[in-house]
């Protein structure tokens, strides 16, 4: 189908975007890469009165890599972030997750910030932001605020973004030393939204024993489900992990429903398998061993 009629704004400055959003209120919607919004327009699932396009804004396209974080502005596409050689050494989990985000052709247009705002329950980057303890930067005409990644997603396709707010950037903190990560998922076709996915972050001590572990599960709840596994895994040696308890905790934390793609029971099973593999890979990553993808 075709999109319904809408007015089109293409401001040249961030202030212009904020002014347009303030004026339009509930009637306006930000257009970033369009890789989620345009399908929704085509299917008439969204019928905004007006779109405010970011594509002609001067700026908003920086990837900032510092000692403490990677800050990704609103116009940065998934593919640009994935290919930036500074990003992987700083925050490996970004690259590990971005390899699963959509198809290359979609990644060429879709923005990383947009995917977090969009809040699809199976999207990878909201889980990455939450798992790393990152935050979103939001701005409106009369002020700005930060929202922790974990609090930002409210329900499926709903994030804590007011209609007059622009998500300016997502900030991903660098992990501390001896920290490893992994992202794994399964989809019927590589690049489609996953049936289930798991991101894992594991930290080791000097003796390569686990000091903390956590996973984020996607596609199995309305928002990413975070499961702390430090209690279950603390003190285990990196080369002799016993993950049975951890896998049990992960499966107990989720309650996915049946849909046309898979049953809830299958997704629960799958999530456990993915969690076990992701924790193993993340641990190996933490020891800086070579791991096969």
Partner 1 sequence: MSATDATTSARTATSDRPGASGAVGPYDRVEVELTVNGVPRAAFVPPRRLLSDFIRHDLELTGTHVGCEHGVCGACTVLLDGQPIRSCLALAVAVDGRELTTIEGLAGPDGELHPVQQGFQDHHGLQCGFCTPGFVLSACGFLAEDPDPDEDTIREGMAGNLCRCTGYAGILQAVKQAAGVLRETGADPCARHAGRAADGAVAAGPESGR
Ligand X SMILES: Cc1cc2nc3c(=O)[nH]c(=O)nc-3n(C[C@H](O)[C@H](O)[C@H](O)COP(=O)(O)OP(=O)(O)OC[C@H]3O[C@@H](n4cnc5c(N)ncnc54)[C@H](O)[C@@H]3O)c2cc1C
Residues 177-216 that bind ligand X (CB under 6 A): 192-193
- Residue 113 interacts with ligand X (CB under 6 A)? yes
Cα gap 223→120, rounded to integer Å? 8
**Interaction partner, residue 238 (ligand X, partner 1, none; CB < 5-8 Å by kind):** none
Q: Convert 252-271 to b/e letters by CB count within 10 Å (16 or more is b).
A: ebbebeeeeebeeeebbebb
- Residue 197 interacts with partner 1 (CB under 8 A)? no
CB 267 within 8 A of CB 256: yes
- Residue 102 interacts with ligand X (CB under 6 A)? yes
Nearest alpha-carbon partner for 271 in 211, 157, 194: 194
- Residue 96 interacts with ligand X (CB under 6 A)? no
- Residue 10 interacts with partner 1 (CB under 8 A)? yes
- Residue 189 interacts with partner 1 (CB under 8 A)? yes
Q: Nearest distance from residue 80's CB to ligand X, in Å?
A: 12
- Residue 33 interacts with ligand X (CB under 6 A)? yes
Q: Judged by CB, which is closer to ligand X: 111, or 271?
A: 111
Q: Convert 111-124 to b/e letters by CB count within 10 Å (16 or more is b).
A: bbbbbbbbbbbbbb
Cα gap 57→70, rounded to integer Å? 21
CB 212 within 8 A of CB 176: no
CB 197 within 8 A of CB 218: yes
Member of 20, 30, 204, 247 binding partner 1 (CB under 8 A) = 20
- Residue 114 interacts with partner 1 (CB under 8 A)? no
- Residue 157 interacts with partner 1 (CB under 8 A)? no
Residues in contact with partner 1 by CB under 8 A are: 1-12, 16, 20, 31, 34-35, 38-39, 41-43, 49-51, 53, 55-56, 102-106, 108-109, 189-192
């Amino acid at each position: 189908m075709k999109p319904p009629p809408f007015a089109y704004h293409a401001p040249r400055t961030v202030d212009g975007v904020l002014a347009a959003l303030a004026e339009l209120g509930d009637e306006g919607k930000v257009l970033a890469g369009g890789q989620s919004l345009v399908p929704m327009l085509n299917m008439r699932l969204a019928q905004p009165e007006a779109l405010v396009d970011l594509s002609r804004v001067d700026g908003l396209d920086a990837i900032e890599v510092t000692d403490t974080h990677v800050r990704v502005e609103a116009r940065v596409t998934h593919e640009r972030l994935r290919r930036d050689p500074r990003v992987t050494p700083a925050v490996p989990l970004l690259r590990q997750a971005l390899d699963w985000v959509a198809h290359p052709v979609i990644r060429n247009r879709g923005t990383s910030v947009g995917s977090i705002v969009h809040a699809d329950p199976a999207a990878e980057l909201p889980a990455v932001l939450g798992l790393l303890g990152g935050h979103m930067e939001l701005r409106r005409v009369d002020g700005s605020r930060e929202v922790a990644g974990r609090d930002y997603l409210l329900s499926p396709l709903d994030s804590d973004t007011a209609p007059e707010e622009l998500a300016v950037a997502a900030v991903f903190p660098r992990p501390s030393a001896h920290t490893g990560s992994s992202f794994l998922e399964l989809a019927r076709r590589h690049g489609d939204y996953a049936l289930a996915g798991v991101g894992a972050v594991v930290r080791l001590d000097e003796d390569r024993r686990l000091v903390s572990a956590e996973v984020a599960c996607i596609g199995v709840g309305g928002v990413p489900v975070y499961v702390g596994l430090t209690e279950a895994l603390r003190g285990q040696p990196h080369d002799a992990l016993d993950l049975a308890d951890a896998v049990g905790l992960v499966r107990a934390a989720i309650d996915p429903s049946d849909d046309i793609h898979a049953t809830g029971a299958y997704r629960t099973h799958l999530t456990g398998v993915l969690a076990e593999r992701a924790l193993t890979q993340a641990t190996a990553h933490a020891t800086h061993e070579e791991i096969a993808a």
